[in-house]
Structure 1
Amino acid sequence: MPDLITALDIESKTFSRAIRGYDPDQVDEFLDHLAETLRLMGQQFSDLEREKMCLEEQLKEYNNLKDTLQETLLMAQKSAEAKNDAAKQEADAIISEARAKGERIVFEAMNERDRHRRDAARFSDMKRVFKSDMAALLTKFSSLIDSIEDDVDVTQEITVVEEHQAE
């Protein structure tokens, strides 16, 4: 890489005098202007270098922040998925438990219904037996009553015969 000319190089440069050369005052003025321009450009370059370094540092910070945000977002997504999966599992468990409970309630209700049907059938049988027994008892009482009336008639006839005999 060739050596770069600095503002100091321009200011300190001297030329030999020639008879028909350029006007030394104009050359000096131009060189002064060129030196000042180079000094300003050097200053701007230094400023731009510092700004570039600051911007690069900020870029590193932003990249670190971006990486952190991406990791955080990924963790949040995983956490949300885990919570969603856990909630789904809990919901499935609740639904399964509710189904089992519902089936148990239906089973118990059916057993209760069957028990009531058996009780109703037993009571119906008891009613039928009671009616039959009551009818038999009433028939027996009717027979007894009829036989008592016959006995009363017989007793009255015996009394009438005894009265006739006594006379």
Structure 2
Amino acid sequence: MNLTALEIKQRTFEKSLRGYDISEVNAFLSEIATEWEHIVGKIKDQDREISQLRDKLKHYERVEEALHETLQTAKENAEQRIETARKDARSKVETAEMEAEKILQDVRIQRQEIRQSILRLLERREEIIRGIGSYIDTAQKSLQSFSRDDSDIYALTQDDDEKARSEKKARRSEAKKNEQTKEKEKVAAPGSEDLDDILDELD
């Protein structure tokens, strides 16, 4: 049964002999109505406060749920990023290791090639040194030979000049004799033709 303060104030009772004092009853009812009105007001205030608290609770529950979802999403994203970062780091480490190994291999190959080139250059240098030494030995021997034979060569040159002059003198003497013989033949056989004319006739 729900009573209001107005209903309490307006409540009436039957009159009887030797009953309660009406004024006291009315005063008490008025006091009860006032207190009841106060209690009802407090209850309404509490109901409003409870309603507000319920609304806040629902809001906080929604916020908590959203935060939980956000936290879960952030956690998943963080785990995914961490895993991606780990994979990327492993990939980069593996790539760096492969590149470093390739660089080391290239360095080894280049070092071997340089070593072979140095060995070839050293061998070539030794060959050149041996060739120069051989050439110097040959040149020294030739110079020594030229020094020993210098006087002989000079003597041979003088002998050759003398022989050439003698041969030239003999050729001149022979030519003079031949000319004298031809002159004699012309005198002994008049009318004989010149040798060039005879050759022309034969042609």
TM-score normalised by L of structure 2: 0.66
How far apart are residue 124 of structure 1 and its match? 0.8
Please give the per-residue CA displacement for 1:56-94, whole angstroms capped at 9, x wherever unaligned. Answer: 122111111111111112212222222233233323333
Task: Give distance in 1, aligned partners of 2:43 and 2:62.
Answer: 28
Where do 5+ consecutive residues of structure 2 fail to align?
A: 161-203
- 1:11·1:35 contact (CA, 8 Å) conserved in 2? no
The change in CA–CA distance for 1:4 and 1:160 in structure 2 (over 3 A counts) is closer
Q: How many residues were matched structurally?
A: 159
Offset from partner CA, 1:74-118 (integer Å, 9 cap, x none): 212222222233233323333332332222222222222221111
1:18 aligned onto 2:26: no
Question: What is the DSSP-based 3-state SS (H/G/I as helix, E as strand, rest coil) of the residue aligned with 1:37?
Answer: helix
Percent of matched pairs sharing the same residue? 21
| Residues 18/129 of structure 1: CA separation in 2 closer, same or farther (3 Å cut) | same
Q: Which residue of 1 aligns with 2:173?
A: none
Deviation at 1:123, TM superposition (A): 0.9
Structure 1 runs not aligned, ≥5 long: 163-167
Q: Secondary structure at the match of 2:86?
A: helix
Structure 1 length normalisation: TM-score?
0.78
Q: Which residue of 1 aligns with 2:99?
A: 101
| Contact 2:8/2:30, CA 8 A, preserved across alignment | no
Letter in 2 for 1:92: R
Letter in 2 for 1:25: S
* Aligned alpha-carbon RMSD (Å): 2.6
With 10-19 and 54-63 compared, the bigger mean Cα shift is at: 10-19
Q: Which sits farther off after the overlay, 122-131 or 137-146?
A: 137-146
Are residues 135 and 14 of structure 1, via their aligned partners in 2, closer, same or farther at CA, if it must alter by over 3 Å?
same
Given residue 32 of structure 1, which amino acid in structure 2 is its aligned partner?
S
RCO comparison, higher one (Cα < 8 Å, 6+): 1
- Choose 1 or 2 for highest CA Rg: 2
- The reply to whether residue 44 of structure 1 matches residue 47 of structure 2 is no
